[in-house]
Structure 1
Amino acid sequence: MSTDTRAAGVLPGSLEPNFRVAALVALVALTASYGSVLYHVTDVVGGSRLMLATLLGTATLAVATGRILRVRTALLLTALFLVGGLAVYILSVPASQRALISVDRLLSDTVALLTGLSVLRLTQANVWALSVAPTPVFLSWYLAVRRRYVASVAVGGTALAVVVLTGDAGSVTTLAGTVGAAGVVGFGTLDRYGGTAAQVDTLVILLVVMVVAAATLSVVPSTRATPVLPDRSSPSGVTSLVDAQDQVSVVGTIRLSPQVQFSVESSAESYWSTATYDRYTGSGWVRSGETDPFVGRLRGPPGGGREVRQTVTAETELGAMPAAWRPTAVTGLAESRIRVTPRGSLQPTTTIDPGETYTVTSRVNRPDTADLRAAGTDYPDEVVETYTQLPASTPDRVADRAAAVTADAETPYDKAAAIEAYLESNKRYSLTVERPEGDVADAFLFEMDAGYCTYYATTMVTMLRAEGVPARFVTGYTSGERVDDGEYVVRGLDSHAWVQVYVPDEGWVRFDPTPAAPRESAERTRITDARQSGEAGVDTEETLESTPTPTPDGGDGSTDGGTTPTPTPDGGADAAGTQPGPVGDTGATAPVSTESGPSLPSRETLALWGVVLVGVGAALRRTGAGARAVRAVWLRRRGARRDPDADAVRAFERLVYLLERQERPRRPGETPRAYVERVTADDRARAVLTTYERARYGPGVDRSAADEATDAVGELVRERTLPTRPFVR
């Protein structure tokens, strides 16, 4: 009788871990972290398919040549990648700007990138991303193939650090890259020096702890009060919409700050713009290009326009310079404190303190509807290239909806007016919204029934660009509360976002798709609540003395809502607001959904729970609890009926496992009969043994005998695993 009585495959055996494969998988996570940022840049600006091919092709080249190329040759090839990429980027810069490139300028730009300048602000951001991508990908993968894991992480980690310092890598991306880097070093060390499955479990548990700790602990820096604040019940924060930031993210629920920000003495009522943005990312806006020093005077709009002088007095700290569009001259502040953005907006280099005053001279166009309709589409090439950009990932249905809304529009102006009217009449104004996943414009059009100004303006710009009409996103303030002829008090709740559309021979014309009446109502309610609760900074002497007299409908012309009339071309008198509702009967094409289903966890939450489950699995494996749980289930399961001999063998295997846990393990060379007879005198166990011997070594057994053995083991399991007799001895 054979002494090898343990049937193989009672339970799946543990697989030997492949540390090399695990290290390379972790390197995939590290590469994907910074590669996803570079891919996002090209998705926004152009060239995403080429970027994907570059990332995959460079990694494949490194793997294919890792065992062939010597280290010196690989380093030389990497240097060629770097130098060649920089040369391509420099040559892509327009000739007029290339002359300004110098060593000092390159160094200053590099420092700017490493101290928070988003890659998306670079004029040729896509070329820059495509130029730098091959260098870290090739070298990190080459070194990993050569089993130089620490050096590989040093290269890939540097690339990740760069995109983190630019501010383009989010927390999830950074965390994934960091965990990937730790995994490369950990698994790589086990690969080079040998390791065990237990060490793998320990490493996995440590990585999971890193993820959970980083995801659950956050540090929120304190900032000074801003005109637009996050709702205290909202998990998302928002920086000031109008504080001349280089980027604006569309967020969820916000609340309005009623504190007075500044006062204006102006020869004409206007919106006070602070920043314009050209590059849409799908989740917000970026202002590309570098600011220039203010040198005394700026050019006005193509059509000339009426001169409007405004004197702005800061009532609190201002991080922007509100002014009517388009500013041409500034006095009252030192020129060294003023910068000019590529879009023509003014930006202070230092905070404007309370009590400080400056005067802006603006040229405001007053085109009438006939001029706007007759303007045509003779756009400059630079305007088309910059202001019709949309991310490649923008869903096609956005363009389809834009085409349906503008089907009856004959001119770009008519398209703008149709989209403006469509959004006004089909979406509800609300400050309480949930930040959607994915593309903001797509979500607002098809998944949301309400939003506020950033949603309206973002969606209108996106739809116009889908129709080939140059448009851009603008932030600033509405006119504020008029306290006297030509005098306005502007509060934080007057902060706003709107749209500018380019019109040949006229320049940029303002449209505002946000419904005016509900927005003004929300503002008035907020002021009333703030006054009743005694909040500081809500009023000035002028607002206390004035007696606002809103119009009966509480909308256009209200002096307490802080707005100009309905959406108009900049400086005009209700030219864009004269369209009688949606153009071309487009209302039926966009039903507004009012149903709200159960909210699902975010992708980040699901990913975190997935990581936690992996950690729990590793912990169960490390402690053996998982295997014991599996065996406990296996022990208690009768199992599906097979042929009688196989069922008899399985019954005996369950019996042996039970006796080993309850009595003692089998000794080497101990036969099944000797083992059973020494550890138990139970007749049922001996009957199962006899049936097993006949099935394994004799003529076999019939179905009745196999079932009796299976039933007997079931009885023994139930008896021997009661609380009075622990399962584990």
Structure 2
Amino acid sequence: MSESGPSDVQSAREAASRYVGLRDPALVGALLLTLSYVSVLYHVTDVVGGSRDFALAVGGAFLLATVLGRFLRLRTAVLVTAVLVAGGAAVYYFAVPESNRALFTTARVVDDTVALLTGLSVLRLAKAGVWALAMAPGPVFLSWYLALRGRYVGSVLVGGAALAFFVLTGDAGVLVTLVGVVGAAAAVGLGTLGEVGAVSAQWDTLAVVVAAMVLLSATLTVVPGGAAQPLLADRGAPTMQGNLVGSAASTDSVTVQGSIRLSPEVQFTMESEEGHYWGVAAYDRYTGSTSGGTWVRTGEAEPYDGRLGGPPGDAREVEQTVTARSRMNALPSAWRPVAVDDSVSSATEVTGQGYLRPTGTVRTNQSISVVSEVPEYTQRELREADGDDYPARVSEAYLQLPESTSERVRQRTAEVTADEETAYDKAVAIERYLESNKQYSLTVDKPDGDVADAFLFEMESGYCVYYASTMVVMLRTQGIPARFVTGYTSGQQVENGEYVVRGLDSHAWVQVYFPDVGWVNFDPTPSGPRESSENARVEEARQNGNPNVDVDGSEQTTTATTVAPDSPETNTTTTATTTTEADGNATNGTDSNAPRGPSDEIVGQEPGVGGNVTTADEGIGGSLPSIPWPPTREQVGIGLALLVGLVAGGRRFGAFTGTYRTLWLYRHGARTEPRADIERAYTRLEHLLSREYRDRRPGETPRSYLQSLGNVGLDDRAVEVGRLYERAHYGATVDRADADRAVRTVNELVWERTPLVGRLLRN
């Protein structure tokens, strides 16, 4: 459509005249704001693939806004933005699998939008990379167009809305939020002040506002489940259970932590003929170096609607009854769960990864029966199941790696698996490598970069989350589908068919996919050191008289159960009873011929091979945790912003001048020639009198000033200093004795009026 009318030509000329170009300093703020939310979307594409296409799309939106900003009217620019957003939505719609398009009802879209605005990460969306690529150009184009036209408030509204969206989803971390807040304040502040040429005069006011916004954004959590964290976090380390099991129910994600604690309280008892690892959740998407090394569970849970399908190969049915000993938001079971009690079926849902979970809370002492079909196989069958014929849904979800995954991780994995030919043997080699080359410890410093890379090359020790995360990443570099799984180990066996499971039994392990078999459990975490830490924690809790540490039958010994019921060699459950001696050391009574690992593990090796336990500072004692050092980038950024704000605020409100004048009042300083010392002493005296009585009026002589104050009780010593000042100021002879007397008198008058400060300064 052509725009050729006289009014249109005039509008175009006015638009061109308002085009600020690329030299306006406020554009830097608008650019920072834009880059803040664009960085979140770039991170999404880095995790799931497509960052190059995303960079081209965003760069194209910037270029389009820059070229058209001089000529395009606002109404037309809004229309272009609407076309970009609508086109992006259409691209995303047709990119998702056809089976999922039926879910795009109005009610479902509204529900998903509400979920996003209350803490659902964008990374949980199907085809998250396509969504990021499709949604970015619209807001980028409009916000940059408005900034180039000098409409900074409008630009900040558009960019701020985009950033706020990602704050609500939990994808924008503290540092990203801080950058966006500073950019928004700078764009509006510099743009507005620039119009009246007041930037140099008002920079301190702008700095104070920015610092206040930074502090507010860093200390307030906007919504439950959001990513924003208080500036001063809880000093206590999180518990393993809270990190692995609590996160599964509240956020559908697990973030790798630093040091962690073990909770000795009984969570539930399990009645089962076989001991297993009791799974709670599986995670498919790994974020890598950004987002703190987070595992995300994608897809939506669906209501349980009758018995589920079992694994693709042979399986045996195992029935379990879980009895909650405290309120629970999880439903642990052996892999793979296929059925649940009819009494709770309507309050149960199935995750996209095949685990059951309650829609509400399992009450204390409530019992729920779950039926699982546990896969049966042999090592030979697993070796023969090797190949590239993985289902498309498995390859797409469980081979994902961030594009930023380091090449040295791939190279080290290739070295570890160089002598192995099958996926099964490669998995065993990686498992044994991690178990033998890393120590087990609950006290670690969380790395800044990729957890797998750091654990392989920079860290000497870690706990289950580090072992499992690293093994999954290593397997995926070799084209082997694997996933991160959380839940509980089998716990303490108190009698045949009953297991006591405590919070410290919460655990993370690995599942590897084999065609015609399904998911098979592997556990690279050394079992011996892990069990020793858990047993020591239970004994400590017992000695301290902590509540809810035991149930009937669990008080005598701490039993660590090593389960391998599906081993192709033994097909039996092996129980290792660890009795705590009087000196507090644990002796391992595990059958050395039994394979170690979770219920489906097939690794025929001795339990606890390799991996020494680090006993110092493992978080099982009562000492206070240390303050983390060095500070994180977010903490440094917040600190610098606050420092600038304090300096600017001090300048704006005269705090520095007032502080200097106060110190100057109490200290005369080094002596010079007598005349100058007397004049300086009188200036200090006059400042003191102005604070106590009034200022000297214009045209009022020092003598008249002192005489007027004498009518309201001025000390005669002040009048004497005034006389000495007149002599020195008007040319009369004064000597060192006169100067010392004036300085001493003023000091006495100052210190008498503030005795505490006077004593401190005098000393």
TM > 0.5: yes
- Which stretch has the larger CA shift, 560-569 or 140-149? 560-569
Conserved in 1, the CA contact under 8 Å of 2:45 and 2:129? Answer: yes
- Counterpart of 1:323 in structure 2 is 333
- Match for residue 464 of structure 1 among 448, 454, 475: 475
Question: Is 1:175–2:205 an aligned residue pair?
Answer: no
How big is the shift at 1:33?
Answer: 1.6
- Match for residue 638 of structure 2 among 584, 608, 613: 608
- Match for residue 453 of structure 2 among 438, 442, 448: 442
Question: Is 1:120–2:111 an aligned residue pair?
Answer: no
**Residues 316-360 of structure 1, C-alpha deviation per residue, up to 9 Å, x if partnerless?**
111110000000111154222101011100011001010111111
Question: Is 1:388–2:384 an aligned residue pair?
Answer: no
Letter in 1 for 2:91: V
Distance across 2 between alignment mates of 1:368 and 1:194: 79
Residues 79 and 580 (structure 1 numbering): CA distance in 2 closer, same or farther, change over 3 Å? same
Letter in 2 for 1:316: S
- Match for residue 519 of structure 2 among 491, 494, 508: 508
Residues 143 and 135 (structure 1 numbering): CA distance in 2 closer, same or farther, change over 3 Å? same
Distance across 2 between alignment mates of 1:20 and 1:253: 48
Question: Is 1:475–2:523 an aligned residue pair?
Answer: no
Residues 21 and 178 (structure 1 numbering): CA distance in 2 closer, same or farther, change over 3 Å? same
Match of 1:448, SS? coil
- Counterpart of 1:56 in structure 2 is 59
Pairing of 1:34-183 with structure 2 (within 5 A): 34-183=37-186
- Which stretch has the larger CA shift, 49-58 or 145-154? 49-58
**Residues 111-136 of structure 1, C-alpha deviation per residue, up to 9 Å, x if partnerless?**
22112211111111111111111111
**Residues 149-183 of structure 1, C-alpha deviation per residue, up to 9 Å, x if partnerless?**
11111111111111111111112222322232222
Pairing of 1:392-541 with structure 2 (within 5 A): 392-541=403-552
* Identity level (%): 56
Match of 2:320, SS? strand
**Residues 594-626 of structure 1, C-alpha deviation per residue, up to 9 Å, x if partnerless?**
xxxx96443223333443565577569879999
- Counterpart of 2:353 in structure 1 is 343
Report how many residues are paired.
597
- Counterpart of 1:298 in structure 2 is 308
- Counterpart of 1:277 in structure 2 is 283
How big is the shift at 1:365?
Answer: 1.4
Residues 84 and 444 (structure 1 numbering): CA distance in 2 closer, same or farther, change over 3 Å? same
Residues 414 and 19 (structure 1 numbering): CA distance in 2 closer, same or farther, change over 3 Å? closer
Distance across 1 between alignment mates of 2:311 and 2:561: 33
Conserved in 1, the CA contact under 8 Å of 2:259 and 2:445? Answer: yes
Letter in 1 for 2:641: V
Query: Unaligned stretches of 5+ in structure 1?
Result: 1-17, 223-229, 588-597, 628-723, 725-729
Distance across 2 between alignment mates of 1:131 and 1:452: 39
**Residues 487-534 of structure 1, C-alpha deviation per residue, up to 9 Å, x if partnerless?**
001000000000000011100000000000000000000000001111
Residues 163 and 512 (structure 1 numbering): CA distance in 2 closer, same or farther, change over 3 Å? same
Distance across 2 between alignment mates of 1:551 and 1:324: 15
- Counterpart of 1:673 in structure 2 is none
Conserved in 2, the CA contact under 8 Å of 1:262 and 1:312? Answer: yes
Match of 2:361, SS? coil
Conserved in 2, the CA contact under 8 Å of 1:26 and 1:183? Answer: yes
Distance across 2 between alignment mates of 1:146 and 1:191: 14
- Counterpart of 1:266 in structure 2 is 272
How big is the shift at 1:64?
Answer: 2.1
Question: Is 1:254–2:264 an aligned residue pair?
Answer: no
Distance across 1 between alignment mates of 2:135 and 2:22: 30
**TM-score by structure 1 length?**
0.75
Distance across 2 between alignment mates of 1:235 and 1:100: 37
How big is the shift at 1:550?
Answer: 6.8
Distance across 2 between alignment mates of 1:485 and 1:304: 26
- Counterpart of 2:321 in structure 1 is 311
Residues 384 and 39 (structure 1 numbering): CA distance in 2 closer, same or farther, change over 3 Å? same
Conserved in 1, the CA contact under 8 Å of 2:330 and 2:358? Answer: yes
Letter in 2 for 1:416: A
Match of 1:123, SS? coil
Residues 145 and 615 (structure 1 numbering): CA distance in 2 closer, same or farther, change over 3 Å? same
Residues 387 and 218 (structure 1 numbering): CA distance in 2 closer, same or farther, change over 3 Å? closer
**Residues 675-712 of structure 1, C-alpha deviation per residue, up to 9 Å, x if partnerless?**
xxxxxxxxxxxxxxxxxxxxxxxxxxxxxxxxxxxxxx
- Counterpart of 2:708 in structure 1 is none
Distance across 1 between alignment mates of 2:171 and 2:487: 24
Distance across 1 between alignment mates of 2:160 and 2:267: 43
Distance across 2 between alignment mates of 1:177 and 1:21: 18
Pairing of 1:693-708 with structure 2 (within 5 A): none
Conserved in 2, the CA contact under 8 Å of 1:44 and 1:390? Answer: yes
Distance across 2 between alignment mates of 1:200 and 1:232: 36
Match of 2:349, SS? strand
Conserved in 1, the CA contact under 8 Å of 2:311 and 2:373? Answer: yes
How big is the shift at 1:581?
Answer: 7.0
Distance across 1 between alignment mates of 2:282 and 2:481: 13
Residues 395 and 551 (structure 1 numbering): CA distance in 2 closer, same or farther, change over 3 Å? closer
Match of 1:275, SS? strand
Residues 567 and 380 (structure 1 numbering): CA distance in 2 closer, same or farther, change over 3 Å? farther
- Counterpart of 2:760 in structure 1 is none
- Counterpart of 1:557 in structure 2 is 575
Distance across 1 between alignment mates of 2:449 and 2:601: 37
Distance across 1 between alignment mates of 2:396 and 2:590: 32
Distance across 2 between alignment mates of 1:614 and 1:61: 36
Conserved in 2, the CA contact under 8 Å of 1:78 and 1:135? Answer: yes
Query: Unaligned stretches of 5+ in structure 2?
Result: 1-20, 226-232, 563-572, 580-587, 612-627, 658-742, 744-763
- Counterpart of 1:189 in structure 2 is 192
Distance across 2 between alignment mates of 1:511 and 1:235: 25
Conserved in 1, the CA contact under 8 Å of 2:190 and 2:199? Answer: no
Residues 316 and 220 (structure 1 numbering): CA distance in 2 closer, same or farther, change over 3 Å? farther
Residues 551 and 494 (structure 1 numbering): CA distance in 2 closer, same or farther, change over 3 Å? closer
Conserved in 2, the CA contact under 8 Å of 1:337 and 1:348? Answer: yes
Residues 63 and 320 (structure 1 numbering): CA distance in 2 closer, same or farther, change over 3 Å? same
How big is the shift at 1:144?
Answer: 1.3
- Which stretch has the larger CA shift, 484-493 or 330-339? 330-339
**TM-score by structure 2 length?**
0.72
Match of 2:501, SS? strand
Distance across 2 between alignment mates of 1:569 and 1:532: 30
How big is the shift at 1:580?
Answer: 12
Residues 547 and 250 (structure 1 numbering): CA distance in 2 closer, same or farther, change over 3 Å? closer
